[in-house]
Amino acid sequence: MKKIKLFEAFAGYGGASFGLKRSKVPFEVIGFSEIDRLTSEFYQKNHPGIKNFGDITKIKPKDIPDFDLFTGGFPCQPFSQVGMGLGEDDTRGTLFHDIIRICKAKKPKHILLENVKGLKTSKHGRTLKTIVEKLTNLGYDVVTELMNSKDYGIPQNRDRIWIYAYKGILPLTFKLSPKKKKLTIFFKDLLDKNPDQSLFKNQKQIKRLKELYDLDFIVKEPSCADLYNKNIRKDGISITILEPHHNKMRVVHPPINKNLQVRKYSVTEHFKLMGFKNEKIDLCDQSYQQLCKMLANGWDVNLVSLIFNNIFDQLKNYKSQSMQIAS
């Protein structure tokens, strides 16, 4: 299989690139688009030599080298429950038009997009329908599926809609979602063995949390406190990783000498819950807030690798079967 040339839009930390590196699909990145300065710095440090084409609304397609695969997790806040949920009334919710504009000009063979499941609700379903219609009109066969990280080996309840567009006709049996995996690693297994003490809340702060959320914070094993829904999860799974300013997720440890133990997630824990495993990561001396914000808006690299393997395995088998029939 020849190398797939990738253009990574709304790149973040490079979820598509990290996912492809872990997959068996050969690839090279010809460029990326990211407007946040610190996130771009992180991307280029961890994916050296790749040019940032900047603001996608200002990119001229003729300036980008040809590519086979376009990926993009266009801003999800306009469609999320935690965000304002304004949809296309939020200017960030119209950026998919720039995806269409660039893909119309460059005609990549593959497009993979991701967004929050809110894009599929009745409130925002018109936007999803428009995306599918516009891609179809460009000659793509389009598949959309909801996938959750917890169904593929990562203990995070992260429900996302994935949109795959193929320039041509997909096999009738094509499925975007990989085969589901039973969880063998749980929330407690991904926690730091010796978490930094600065992450822990003091007893006064914990008392305030108890009053606000009506939780006792008494557990027998490390668990996730879901402050958004006012409960402590018993299923060994984390809630969706959120940006730090939402302030709705905590790790709860068993009490020590009757003192409750509640803390924030560490940066390392954020990475693990976003599917990172053995990758060497340069944190670029960036702050806790910046790194956690970037991770909250990124792609689960474990799931991405499975999706890419699944897509290209099916297309390879389909092509092989078609050649046998023709002969």
CA 116, 37, 14, 155 torsion-angle sign: negative
d(CA 6, CA 8): 6
* pLDDT tens digits for range 277-304: 989 999 999 999 999 999 999 999 999 9
Residue type for position 63: D
CA 42, 43, 46, 52 torsion-angle sign: negative
d(CA 126, CA 85): 14
Give the pLDDT mean for 303-312.
98
Length of the chain in residues, anyone?
327
* pLDDT tens digits for range 241-260: 999 999 899 999 999 999 99
Q: Where are the beta strands (DSSP E) in 33-139?
A: 69-72, 110-116
pLDDT, the chain, mean = 91
Given a contact cutoff of 8 angstroms between Cβ atoms, the answer to whether 142 and 132 are in contact is yes
Q: Is 37 helix (H, G, I), strand (E, B) or coil?
A: helix
3-state secondary structure 167-179: ECCCCCCCCCCCC
Tell me 51's DSSP state.
Answer: P
Percent of the chain with pLDDT over 70: 91
pLDDT exceeds cutoff 80 at 234: yes
The pLDDT score that the predictor gives to residue 24 is 93
Residue type for position 327: S
d(CA 232, CA 216): 9
pLDDT confidence tier of residue 318, bands split at 50, 70 and 90: confident
The pLDDT score that the predictor gives to residue 78 is 43
Given a contact cutoff of 8 angstroms between Cβ atoms, the answer to whether 273 and 155 are in contact is yes
Which ranges in 107-232 belong to alpha helices (H)? 125-137, 203-213
* Predicted TM-score of the model (pTM): 0.92
d(CA 181, CA 196): 32
* pLDDT tens digits for range 48-92: 999 999 999 999 999 999 999 999 998 744 444 444 444 344 334
Q: Is 320 helix (H, G, I), strand (E, B) or coil?
A: helix
Chain centroid to CA 163: 13
- CA distances 294 to 83, 97, 242, Å, are 16, 23, 10
Q: What are phi and psi of 10, to 5 degrees?
A: 45, 50
Give the pLDDT mean for 27-44.
98
CA nearest to 182, candidates 221, 155, 145, 216: 155
Given a contact cutoff of 8 angstroms between Cβ atoms, the answer to whether 201 and 209 are in contact is yes
**Which ranges in the chain are annotated with CATH 3.40.50.150?**
4-178
* pLDDT tens digits for range 1-32: 899 999 999 999 999 999 999 999 999 999 99
Which tokens hold the place of 24? 């068996």
d(CA 170, CA 320): 14
CA nearest to 178, candidates 3, 18, 17, 305: 305
Residues noted as catalytic: 76
Which tokens hold the place of 153? 């080996």
d(CA 152, CA 143): 19
pLDDT confidence tier of residue 93, bands split at 50, 70 and 90: very low
* pLDDT tens digits for range 114-128: 998 888 775 656 788
pLDDT confidence tier of residue 321, bands split at 50, 70 and 90: low
Longest dimension (CA), the chain: 76
**Which CATH number does 4-178 carry?**
3.40.50.150
pLDDT confidence tier of residue 95, bands split at 50, 70 and 90: confident
The pLDDT score that the predictor gives to residue 77 is 46
